[in-house]
Chains A and B, each alone.
Chain A
Amino acid sequence: KQEVTQIPAALSVPEGENLVLNCSFTDSAIYNLQWFRQDPGKGLTSLLLIQSSQREQTSGRLNASLDKSSGRSTLYIAASQPGDSATYLCAVIPQGGKLIFGQGTELSVKP
């Protein structure tokens, strides 16, 4: 059974720092991996999707990598800003199309 784990559970950094969020999954048989952002009481905003054949995806200050064989993905945020404060969720799509989510990393960027 696929399990997705995210560490750390919470992270607090000063503005301007570069940071890395980690995601691991137990079964490497995935079609893709998606990173989301969730603001308190709000929906999920898709940030990046990495296909299983890809190693990384970039969007602005965000870079996500995928190492399927080791069951790991990282989300790198460059030059963090207070507006980046949110919970970041990692989710994998195994066969079948449904997403399996990690528990998230709650990020706080202090001005």
Chain B
Amino acid sequence: EPEVTQTPSHQVTQMGQEVILRCVPISNHLYFYWYRQILGQKVEFLVSFYNNEISEKSEIFDDQFSVERPDGSNFTLKIRSTKLEDSAMYFCASSSDRQGKLFFGSGTQLSVL
């Protein structure tokens, strides 16, 4: 069965450093998402992406965050200057239509020291 792939599975960084989290969505999907889950809290929506542009973003997704689809297969989340509170599990997801089933990757555990 096709799956969403995320790399790396774990990322440790120093506060203030830039990180890029990578995702390969399911190949025929058109809608892409990033979510995050801080330990012990709910999974939270960050951003959705369609047709090479952001379609919606949450208040968490400030100027320190950006997303990109640099080629036909990858979807990245960049955090420019990481803060301690950015430590979380980051999930990428994709779907074939706007209200369809979302398929999630296994996540990247980001630890900011």
- Listed in ascending order, the chain A residues whose CB lies under 8 Å from chain B are 31-32, 34, 36, 41-46, 49, 89, 91, 93, 96-104
Contact = CB atoms under 8 A, between A and B. Distances in A.
B104 A46 contact: yes
Interface stretch (B13-21, B66-74, B75-83, B94-102): B94-102
B101 A34 contact: yes
Contact of B106 (A42, A89, A99): A42
A32 B33 CA distance: 17
Interface of B: 6, 31, 33, 35, 41-45, 48, 55-56, 58, 89, 91, 93, 95, 98-107, 109
A79 B13 CA distance: 44
Interface of B is mostly: strand
A81 B89 CA distance: 28
A43 B105 contact: yes
A71 B70 CA distance: 40
Nearest to B106: A43
Contact of A99 (B6, B89, B102, B107): B102
A45 B103 CA distance: 7
Contacts of A96: 48, 55-56
The 7 closest A-B pairs by CB, nearest first: A43-B106, A31-B99, A44-B104, A101-B43, A98-B45, A97-B98, A49-B101
Given A43-B107, A46-B101, A101 B42 contact: yes
A31 B100 CA distance: 9
